Amino acid sequence: MRISMQENEESKYKIIVVDDESGIIDSLSVFLRKSGYTLVGVTNPLEAIERVKKEHFDLMLLDFIMSPIHGDKVVEEIRKFNQELYILLLTGHKDLAPPLETIKRLDIQGYCEKSDKFDQLLLLIESAIKSIEQMNIIKSINSQLTQSKEMLEKAYLESIETLRYTVEAKDTYTRGHSDRVSEYAILIGKKMGLSEDELRTLRIGGLFHDIGKIGIPDTILLKEQKLTDQEYSEIKNHPAIGVHILSNATIFSNIIPIVHYHHERYDGKGYPARLAGKTIPFYARIVAVADAFDAMTSKRAYRNALPLEVVIKELEEGSGTQFDPKIIEVFLDILKNEYSSIEAIQEKYNYIRSVFTN
C-alpha cells in the first residue's frame, strides 16, 4: 500500500518512508512535513523497490523488521540499480539493528531507533540533506567539467603544439620528426592490439616526446659537430624539461611517462633513470623504437638518411639491449611486410617540410 503525502512546494528533496505500519508513516509525515520535507510513504517493501526504480528520491527512511522482506534485503535489491540513494535504517530497538558489517556492505548511511520523539531522527535527516547537497554540487561540477573537458583539452593541446612547432622550427632537418614518431608508434600500437584510448595516449605522447628541447640552447641543439660531454649532458635534460612543462596540466598525466622515459634502454643503460626491461613504461618503449627509426631514416646536416637494410640491421642488433625485443619483432614485421604504410607517413611529412622550407 502506498500513502501519498501532500508535497511541500519549498522542498527540493524527496524522502520515501518505508514501514509496514501505516501509523509510523503517518506520524513521520506530520513531523517531517512541518520541517519542510516532501514525503512519499510506502507500506510494502517490494512496492518501495519498484517505486525507487521508476522515480527519483534523495533519501529513504527504511524500517528494518518488515514483511514480506526485511530492510536489509530491500537495500540489497536497491543497490543493484541505485548506488546514490541515501538510506537511513529505522529500528524498534538497537538490539534489532543489523550487524555493522551488513550496514557497511550495503552502504547504509546510518540508522536510528524509533521513538515518540523525532529529535535524533531530524538531526540525522538534516545531516543527510547536507551530504546530499554536497553530492549534488560535486555531480554538477563533474557534469560541467565533462562538458568543458574537450574545450580545455583543445586549448592545452594548442598551447603545447605551439611550443612543439617552436622546437622543430629551429632545425629544418627535424621538422615533422614528432609527427612521424607519433604515427610510427600508432602503427606499432595497432599491430599490438591497443585500444582506441591507448592509441590516443600513444599518439599525443609521440607528438610531444621531445617538447623539452624547447629548453635546450640552440648552440647545442643545432650543432653539426660532435657534442662535448657537457653539451651531451645538457641534451639529456630534455626529458625532465618536458615533464616540467606538461606537469601542471592533468590532461597530460598519461603521456608524461612517454616524455620522461623515451630514452631509456632495455638493458638499463639509458637515461634519465637507467630503468631496465619492463620497468620502462610500455608506451615509452614503443616511442623509443619509433624515435630511433625516424632518427636513422631522416636526413641530417651531418649525414644522409641510412638505407633501409642498414636500419633493419641496427634494429635487430638493438633488440634486447637498446629496445624491447617484442616491440622490435612487431616493428620489423611492419617494415618487411607493410612498408607502404611507412612510406605514406614519410611522404606526408616530407611534403609538409618542403612547403615550410621552400
Catalytic annotation, residues: 213
Nearest to 108 by CA among 69, 67, 61: 61
> Which is it for strands 38-42 and 2-4: parallel, antiparallel or unpaired?
antiparallel
Q: Are 172 and 299 in contact (CB under 8 A)?
A: no
HEC string of the chain equals CEEECCCCCCCCCEEEEECCCHHHHHHHHHHHHHCCCEEEEECCHHHHHHHHHHCCCCEEEEECCCCCCCHHHHHHHHCCCCCCCEEEEEECCHHHCCCHHHHHHCCCCEEEECCCCCHHHHHHHHHHHHHHHHHHHHHHHHHHHHHHHHHHHHHHHHHHHHHHHHHHHCCCCCCCHHHHHHHHHHHHHHHCCCCHHHHHHHHHHHHHCCHHHHHCCHHHHCCCCCCCHHHHHHHCCHHHHHHHHHCCCHHHCCCHHHHHHCCCCCCCCCCCCCCCHHHCCHHHHHHHHHHHHHHHHCCECCECCCCHHHHHHHHHHHECCCECHHHHHHHHHHHHHCHHHHHHHHHHHHHHHHHHHC
Residue 275 C-alpha cell reads as: 630503468
Return d(Cα 233, Cα 238) in angstroms, integer: 10
Which phi and psi angles does 80 have, rounded to 5°? Answer: -70, -25
Nearest to 218 by CA among 271, 259, 168: 168
